[in-house]
Amino acid sequence: MLLNWLAKTVNIIDGNTEFTGKIISWFTLIMVLLTFAIVVLRYGFNLGWVAMQESVLYFHGLTFMLGAAYTLKDGGHVRVDIFYQRFSTKGKAVVNLLGAIFLLLPVCIFIFYISFDYVAIAWKIMEKSPEAGGLPLVYLSKSFILLFSISLSLQGIAEIFRNLSILLLNSSHVPPLNTEVK
Amino acid sequence: MEYLALLMFVVVCFVLLMGYPVALSLAGTALLFAAIGSSFGAFDFTFLGALPNRLFGIINNQTLLAVPLFVFMGAMLERSKIAENLLNAMSMLFGKYHGGLGISVILVGMLLAASTGIVGATVVTMGLLALPTMLKRGYDVKFSTGIICATGTLGQIIPPSIALVLLGDVLSSAYQKAQLDMGIFSPETVSVGDLFAGAVVPGLILVLLYMAYCIGLAIFKPSMVPCIEPEDIAEISAGKSKVQVVLGALIPPLLLMFTVLGSILFGFATPTEAAGVGAMGATLLALVQKQLTVAKLKAVMQSTLKITSMVFLILIGASLFSLVFRGFGGEELIKGLFEQMPGGVIGATLIVMLVIFLLGFILDFIEITFVVVPIVAPILLAMGLDPIWLGIMIAINLQTSFLTPPFGFALFYLRGVADKAVKTADIYRGVIPFIAMQVLLMLMLAIWPSLITWLPNFIYG
């Protein structure tokens, strides 16, 4: 019963993260195309817009701030795996469970808490780029910090549930565990 | 209370060894220490008020924008068989000589390392690509594994290396800080381009040393590096003439690398712009060689997304860690230690290099660049070290660390993809000559620093 509920929640969050990840992975291609266009326009036609340059930074920021959760789900964040790789499946689950509870969640919650006012002020004044001709959307890019904390916390909760069910299950039938070699 | 900063460092090493992702271990442990410290008045939480602005600084950093673009370029070259074609082309040209395949592996590995800039990616690719071929052609196991590990780690220093982009960003702020501390209010700057230029000569020396070793073996122990049989060469070439192969497989990737690197070195383009052009060029190259499918493009994008997120999460974690470290007065502590160090700047540099070498056993260059370098670099630079020299020495030092048994990363990576018949002891023994060459290079650079500083001074004045 509990295991079912855990699995269901994990599936919902995983699905959500997977979907976001698939979408933002296209941003990397957009960044390449935009940067290439900027170079061609500047060196070929002597044209350049600050707004266009800044837009690449927005895609960039959104990519890695939202990508952190997707990368966590896929086990892409580097670990020091000298000992970790020798742990059993349950041993790894203990590390990941404790890590998510005592390291990941506090950090995400703290970053959300300490950045909230910072972002709120940017929204209140509808902060614009300090550059002439820049994008008037600085409040949006500052909000990426909050999006980062929320998405990573959500995925962190999924990791807690996933590893909890690994520990609760006695059979060898376990959901796939993050396996990333540093 | 400064000793809490040191205790935090020790605890974080322990937490890291448990194997939870590095970025979150750094940030989480620091936060825990901040909470404990503030509960008995040893830590002031207002220190962390600077965090949101730092995070926004990461989002808004134009230099670091080069990272996803270079990663994209590397992932594209890696997945589109360009490296494989390149290796085949080279073995066709040089295979008939003793050691020719070895030289080809060095050159292809160098190009691949330079483009991906990620140790793991290069070692794994070369391990899968070149190791079976080398063993099949009768190359010595120790030499084959050694050379693949060594060329794989070249990605640290051969520009356009991502390690140098990250180091350039960190060193430029460290250099500003050092000069402000010294009372210089119109500070000089150091850029990613400076580091790229500084890495050219040492990188070439290293590649030449590797090649000289290979040629030396061909002369004195030719049985270790046999030549490829003519019929095997015919098989590799699959009916294509030399001209076709050179034009098709050799020239385009070389042209791409030189365009990217040249435009940065000669100041035509910023590293970010060059990276964008390089990524676009790699994509077009894959398209022309009919290697680009939608599935491959998606794989490239996803691996770019993951590697970029991984790098930047470490940067986020490290910025929280270093704020707490500073809040505990850790920077003054380190500074005090350095000032008491016998031997002045030389003693301090030696200690820093030793610590970085040892940390290289458990941490990747990204963590070391973001956590250790911001703490030690301003102090060393204020003692009069040249920032470009320091950056290149750190990069080569880490590269050596990644090669050194039993903990070097490159060895783990190769072990992961090498055939079971290859003994771990052979891998360990195989890298020893290459470690010796690295150490030799570092000695040369320490004795003649102008090997590093000459080119940047020449180009940028």
Q: What is the pLDDT of residue A170?
A: 65
Position B412 scores a pLDDT of 74
Which residue among A28, A80, A92 places its CB closest to the CB of B16? A80
Q: Which of residues 157-216 of B touch A (CB under 8 A)?
A: none
How close is the nearest chain B Cα to the Cα of A26, in Å?
Answer: 7
B49-87 burial, b at 16+ Cβ within 10 Å, e below that, comes to: eebbeebbebbbbebbbbbbbbbbbbbbbbbbbbbbbbb
Write out chain A residues lying below 8 Å of B31, CB-based: 106-107, 110
Chain A residues whose beta carbon lies within 8 Å of the beta carbon of residue B275: 35
Does B68 contact A at CB distance below 8 Å? yes
Looking at residue B238, what is its pLDDT? 67
Percent of chain A with pLDDT over 90: 41
pLDDT at A179: 44
Which chain A residues have a beta carbon less than 8 Å from that of B314?
A: 78
Nearest-CA residue of chain A relative to B48? A114
Distance from the B225 Cα atom to the nearest Cα atom in chain A, whole angstroms? 32
B 309-368 residues inside an 8 A Cβ radius of A: 309-314, 316-317, 320, 362-364, 366-367
Q: What is the number of alpha carbons within 13 Å of residue B190 lying toward its C-beta?
A: 34
Rounded CA-CA distance B96/B106 in Å is: 16
- Is B60 an interface residue toward A (CB < 8 Å)? yes
Residues of A in contact with B327 (CB under 8 A): none
Chain A CB contacts of B366 under 8 Å are 78
Cβ(B160)–Cβ(B261) below 8 Å: yes
Consecutive 10-residue runs of chain B (461 residues): their mean pLDDT?
Answer: 79 86 89 88 81 87 84 82 79 81 86 69 78 84 91 82 85 86 78 87 92 90 78 69 75 81 79 87 86 88 88 85 82 77 81 85 76 86 88 91 80 76 85 92 91 83 65
Q: Which of A147, A138, A137 is nearest to A116 (CA)?
A: A147
Q: How far is A5 from chain B (nearest CA, A)?
A: 26
Instruction: Let me know if B412 is exposed, middle or buried by CB neighbors in 10 A (0-12, 13-18, 19+).
Output: buried
| Four-residue CA torsion sign, B57, B62, B64, B67 | positive
Nearest to A8, CA basis, from A157, A128, A142? A157
pLDDT confidence of residue B370: 82
In tens, the pLDDT along A77-131 reads 877 777 887 888 888 899 999 999 999 999 999 999 999 988 888 888 888 877 7
Give the separation between CA B325 and CA B6, rounded to whole angstroms: 9
pTM value?
Answer: 0.82
| pLDDT of A181 above 50 | no
Structure tokens given for A7: 């699995």
Residue contact A84–B25, C-beta within 8 A: no
Interface contact B275-A35, CB threshold 8 A:
yes
pLDDT average, residue stretch A55-81:
88
Read off the pLDDT band of A69 (50, 70, 90). very high
Residue with tokens 């040892």: B358
Average pLDDT, chain A: 85
Q: Nearest chain A Cα to B67, which residue?
A: A60
- How many angstroms away from the CA of B412 is the closest CA of chain A? 9
Q: Which of B11, B22, B301, B417 to mutate to test the interface with A (most CBs of A within 10 A)?
A: B301
Do residues B460 and B197 touch, judged by C-beta distance below 8 A? yes
Report chain B residues whose CB lies below 8 A from the CB of A95. 18-20
B39 CB within 8 Å of a chain A CB:
no
CB-CB under 8 Å, A145 with B56: yes
What percent helix, strand, coil does chain B show, rounded to 5?
Answer: 80, 0, 20
Instruction: Judge if the upstream peptide bond of residue B230 is cis by omega within 30 degrees of 0.
Output: no
Smallest Cβ–Cβ distance between A71 and the set B268, B276, B309 belongs to B309
Closest approach of chain A CAs to the CA of B49, in angstroms? 7
Put simply, the answer to whether B311 touches A77 (Cβ < 8 Å) is no
Instruction: Report the residue from A29, A110, A144 with minimal CB separation from B301.
Output: A29
